[in-house]
Amino acid sequence: MKRFPLFLSLSVLSLTLTSTTGCPADDAGDDIGDDTSDSADTGNGMVIEVGEDINEDTVWTADNTYVLTALVFVNGATLTIEAGTTIRGTSGSALVIEKDAMLMSHGTADAPVVFTSNNVDNPTSGDWGGVVLLGEGIINLEGGQGQAEGFPVPPTYGGTNAAHNCGMLEYTRVEYAGFAISDGNELNGITFYACGSATTAHHVQSHMGLDDGIEFFGGGFDLDHIVVTGANDDSLDVDQGFTGTFQHIFIQQNPTVGDSCFEVSNQGTDFTAEPRTSPTICNATCIGSGDGGEKSKGIIVKEGTHGSWQANIFTN
């Protein structure tokens, strides 16, 4: 059976990939943000089921395991997750951060935050939904707003705040996500909807997702030290006017069903829609499926996309 690297690959990545002229300086991790939560510790070594929406500032601590049992929406509040915390998802569950909320996932190299399947003995792709962050950044859909894919009552995203802050993900891994909320509508491992430039993501991994590893719908912020392994569809999917920078990226595609390392689209109904999808991708390494088939691809660029690719390696 083909094995995929887990979080240790992030440390290797930081040593083996070097920056190049034109890519931004790598200063992630200097500022982990302020803890705005006033919630108390909820137990000692407990398994805590979470099936209701979160409407006030809340802290999840490493001495507990949290089990998502439904679509859990964070509304008007900050959810802070301490280093070393494990969150498990049951079938049909997902964590959704609304436009007026933030997720602060503060893992460390030695104690990452891990979102994973509640099927402890035999986890598999699509066991649960994933992590969804909704922002008020700029997208190129008509009217400046969109509806998130697949939800029974779709939440909205998009606005006029290019600096909107969806929160921070650092040293965070999301595994076995991609549950199909409706027929043909699987969630991604992580989805950023219109998250603005104040959003932070570094040392993040999506592993064995049933759909895309990580997808971006508009907005624009910089990410570095990103790993995607074993996604069933695209590893990184960029759409609707996203304008951020990806630096230090490692992708290993699923050997049997993986699609593209990068799929970069502007807008399907208007190739000239502004802002153009225009990512900068630096120091990426993509390893294909190895079978030489037509499904596994390096980059698909379509629908009026702009962008810059610098010092990247693609191999099968």
216-230: pLDDT as tens digits:
999 999 999 999 999
- Mean pLDDT, residues 126-154 taken together: 94
Pairwise CA distance, residues 18 & 285, whole Å: 11
Look at residue 264 and tell me whether its pLDDT is greater than 60: yes
Tell me how many degrees the CA angle 222-223-225 measures, rounded to the nearest 5: 150
Pairwise CA distance, residues 67 & 43, whole Å: 14
Residue 80 counted as domain residue: yes
- 8 A C-beta contact, residue 9 and residue 227: yes
Residue 93 counted as domain residue: yes
State how far the alpha carbon of 277 is from the alpha carbons of 46, 79, 238, in Å.
44, 30, 7
| Residue 304 CB neighbour total at 10 angstroms | 17
Please name which of 81, 79, 47, 80 lies closest in space to residue 64, comparing C-alpha atoms: 47
Residue 166 counted as domain residue: yes
β-bridge pairing 131-134 and 94-97:
parallel
* pLDDT given for residue 172 in this prediction: 99
- pLDDT, tens digit, for every residue of 289-306? 776 556 667 777 888 789
Higher pLDDT, 158 or 257: 158
Residue 28 counted as domain residue: no
Residue 266 counted as domain residue: yes
Residue 29 counted as domain residue: no
Residue 27 counted as domain residue: no
- Structure confidence at residue 8 as a pLDDT band (50, 70, 90): very low
For the chain, what is the mean pLDDT?
A: 86
Q: Range of 194's domain?
A: 8-20+39-315
Please name which of 109, 112, 124, 105 lies closest in space to residue 58, comparing C-alpha atoms: 105
- Mean pLDDT, residues 222-247 taken together: 95
Residue 25 counted as domain residue: no
What phi and psi values does residue 89 have, to the nearest 5 degrees? -115, 135
Look at residue 2 and tell me whether its pLDDT is greater than 90: no
Look at the chain and report how many structural domains it folds into: 1
